[in-house]
Structure 1
């Protein structure tokens, strides 16, 4: 367990009106981001509740009024798609459009994460010279998303490519973990992305840095009192901060004349024209900073003290190499602020469902409802019965299904046990998912019992579960039974399955023969001697 994970687990639960409620939706497994974003928000003075939505169900969750994501009633929804799962431009634009719809319906903010450029390079080094190559195409889509989301009311934008750049492509990607758990990135990447998202929300909710107080004692002198060369490296970043409207001040505790002379030699422009405040005396540092902030008309919480290492209350501590100070100021977030708008302009209103995010009208399948989007995916489901022992693909589905599993201990039994085992292969216009559902049906006169119903997370939210159960009902009806019982156990993680069972038992199920069957729930408790209670055993 990393230090960040330990810190996150050790933080008190955020609750009450002061807690920021943040939902996370991604086309991949984004759970590893939670501790990094949670700690970043805590350190920014924004204690937060975080909830991860179902994997690869961005549009469905955003457009479904009953979606699990919105049980949190989030203040902010983070939407993080990837080209690898959503290769078509229209699908990425649908994610953005659905996010805007959520902001309208629910009054939450959208924090859209621009997808990183994949490592796919068909031309290798030649990609740089190909205006129609993969990299150029990815870049065009990213800039289209940025252009159409930037400046909209209720919308913020982050960039996963910046996290890749910060970490390095080799260290950012985790192919083996993606193959096993659909987690494409390393913890190092999630740390960088968490800091970026935390900074965006800090600036949005807490405001940007408005005043910088330079600690002359540490910037101009070594710990032993000898003159420290290199403060001139701060000239350009200080000029940029001043141009951005940040007030600049200096504090110190040494001789005022000596301090002023050293400062004038290192940073002449600061002394001549850019200095807004000055406090060099024997008072404690905290008192100096507090009085300087008051004199500048800036809240102390928006005032940053910058020093060159050593003990003390410095909020940004620069290292021992002055040439690195400008980059350290950027990394510390002193330049983080919302982009300025033209004088007299207000944030752009989010476009209506048919406006702005796609070329041409945005019809129902593209945007109007979760069901319309599912219909646009053209999902194909092929259910077949399996004879003999379970295949490796079946074992993988059962072992990895956590959200949608009946949670019983005998997941798949050997042939001849009295259970029929069915599998469902699923594909849609986004890809072929192979074996995605494993179902076990046992005849227990006068009814049939389903005690294995495991579905891969990759195909959830596409009506696969309903279609598969309908096929089970058809097959049970053909055997002369009139009732299907769904036998399940709550595992603490399979709430989607529990919700599905509840909905399935609320109505009769018609069949192709004209008969109607009843579906009933049969909850069971895990016995003391049971094993593999999460539904992962195979025999």
Structure 2
């Protein structure tokens, strides 16, 4: 197993404890409902987003949308994300997650500046309908230029197009009060490009980043959400005794000027306070002598003789905020014990380095400037040029259903359902094993329905492609025929083609095939695992009479297998989808 960074491991363990059925930390303030839509598998983000939100005193509810279903989830009012009704909608889209076309090359417009703009407009429109804040994650820059070193100097090269795409979306969302932006490039740069990616895990489960990236990214998202909700950092309390006034303090000499320089960089409105256990008049005289630059900073003084915990409570109370929103700056472990109890999540312990002060305050959110915007800074935001999706969304006659139908028509999806011709069923087995969102969740492998000489069994697989590329074998169906009834016991769909209407195309094709062979009923057998709601919802909606070619009717029914009806025979065949 990979070795997790120390803080990332803490987040994972803390989240596991908090989500355990028997866990009860007592009453906490209701937290934000956060939905995450990503073009890759983003499940590792959950503990690193949930833990800091929980540490801030809230109780967040997190929802991970189906893999690579951003547009589909945003355009449908009956989508899983819409039903979740999020307070915040986090969208992480990487242009490189688009499939390769049949030639093996990337689509020509993959880095075009307008590539992500329509998707951003679609997400913003959905966030407005749901009354949610859109948090858009700008994707990191390409790891390698597509055409070698010369690509970096080409204004039409991969790097230039990626930068243009990022900046176009940044400019579009910067003027909108319902949206804000975080930058995954900052996170990748902090971790280091070579340490940020996990190629093997990406090939296995479409997880493109290491745990350290998810840890830092989750922290950034949490800080943005807390700041927008007024729960960010509201002030800095500097412990002068541990920093300057005690003889062994790390800034007791000429370095105090560097500390003053770091504190002087705090944004306007971020209150600074000094606390000391010495009499205030005495501490003022000592500070003026030892660190005149600190004495000149506009800071308030906390009254003498109290502990750090009491001083923090007084400072926060005067601001009308909780103590968890105040960053505490202190010296080495000699004074850390008292203040650690006061500010466990925003404690900055310094050993004499001004850079350490800046980085510590940065991590504590002291430099964050994400105010709760309530109006457009410069009036109504301009419409994005060439953005057809934005135009449709603003049309009074358009509805989300219209947009979704137009989205499906624009994809040009083709799903060819056929019986496998050779003995190699590895592609079909891979789809059946990996599917967990769209699967019947019965323990039937494709080989069960491909038995030679068994006329009562039928195995079908679907090759899927659209205008973006060729997805290969993306669906597998297993049928057991019993007279006029076809029992469908295997129906698995790869996540990469979900939400594109493939399941509807396959159902129509299966109805036609059943009618041609004299069947009058398609009975889908399934087990509700809690994870395969897309398949369960589809089957329930499809349960009716369908008119096949030449006027024949085929009735579609569904049969739910529970522990009692299945007798423990059926096992969960789901895995980790790609």
TM-score scaled to structure 1, two decimals? Answer: 0.90
Alpha-carbon spacing, 1:520–1:201, altered in 2? closer, same or farther (3 Å): same
Task: Report the Cα distance in structure 2 between the residues aligned to 1:340 and 1:103, rounded to whole angstroms.
Answer: 16
Match of 2:386 among 359, 375, 379: 359
Give, in whole Å, the separation in 2 of the partners of 1:203 and 1:37.
14
| Structure 2 residue 358 is matched with structure 1 residue 333 | no
Q: CA deviation at 1:421?
A: 1.0
Give 1:530's aligned residue: 569
Partner of 1:113: 137
Q: 1:485 to 1:326 in 2, by over 3 A?
A: same
For structure 1, the residue ranges without an aligned partner over 5 or more in a row are: none
The one of 446, 451, 455 equivalent to 1:415 is: 451
Q: Which residue of 1 aligns with 2:13?
A: 6
Q: 1:328-369, CA deviations, whole angstroms, 9 ceiling, x for partnerless residues? A: 22122110122699xx97446776xxx723425546599852
The alpha carbon displacement at 1:45 in A equals 2.5
What CA distance in whole angstroms lies between the structure 2 residues aligned with 1:218 and 1:411?
66
1:268 positional shift: 2.6
**Contact 1:23–1:77 (Cα < 8 Å) also in 2:** yes
Alignment of 1:2-401 (within 5 A): 2-11=9-18, 12=23, 18-86=30-98, 87=110, 89=112, 90-220=114-244, 228-229=252-253, 230-241=255-266, 244-254=268-278, 256=280, 259-264=283-288, 267-272=291-296, 274-279=297-302, 281-293=304-316, 297=319, 299=321, 301=323, 302-310=325-333, 311-314=337-340, 315=343, 316-323=347-354, 324-338=356-370, 346-347=376-377, 356-359=383-386, 361-362=388-389, 369-401=403-435
> Structure 2 residue aligned with 1:520, among 527, 549, 557?
557
Pairwise CA distance, 1:127: 4.2
Range 515-524 or range 430-439, more displaced: 515-524
Partner of 1:457: 495
Give the deviation of 1:478 after TM superposition.
0.8
Distance in 1, matches of 2:29 and 2:314, equals 31
Provide, for residues 198-244 of structure 1, a one-character-per-residue CA deviation record: whole Å limited to 9, x for no partner: 01011111344333221011111568569744333222221121x52
Q: 2:540 matched to which residue of 1?
A: 502
1 CA distance for matches of 2:339 and 2:298? 22
- CA 1:408 to 1:151, structure 2 compared with 1: closer, same or farther past 3 Å? same
Separation of aligned partners in 2, 1:374 and 1:13:
45
Query: Are the counterparts in 1 of residues 270 and 366 from structure 2 also a CA contact under 8 Å?
Result: no
RMSD: 2.8
Give the whole-Å Cα distance in 2 for the aligned partners of 1:364 and 1:484: 38
Contact 1:419/1:442 (<8 A) preserved: yes
Contact preservation (8 Å) 2:440, 2:525:
yes
Distance 1:266 1:479, change over 3 A: farther
Contact 1:422 1:440 in 2 (8 A): yes
More deviation, 137-146/171-180: 171-180
- In the TM superposition, residue 154 of structure 1 has moved relative to its aligned partner by 1.6
Partner of 1:477: 515
Distance 1:254 1:61, change over 3 A: same
State how far apart, in whole Å, the 2-side matches of 1:118 and 1:369 are: 31
Aligned residues: 527
Q: 1:534 to 1:280 in 2, by over 3 A?
A: same
Gapped runs of 5+ residues in structure 2?
99-109
- Name the SS of the counterpart of 1:458 in structure 2: helix
Measure, in 2, the Cα distance between the counterparts of 1:490 and 1:231. 64
Cα pair 1:37 1:195 within 8 Å, conserved: yes
Residue 382 (structure 1) shift: 1.6
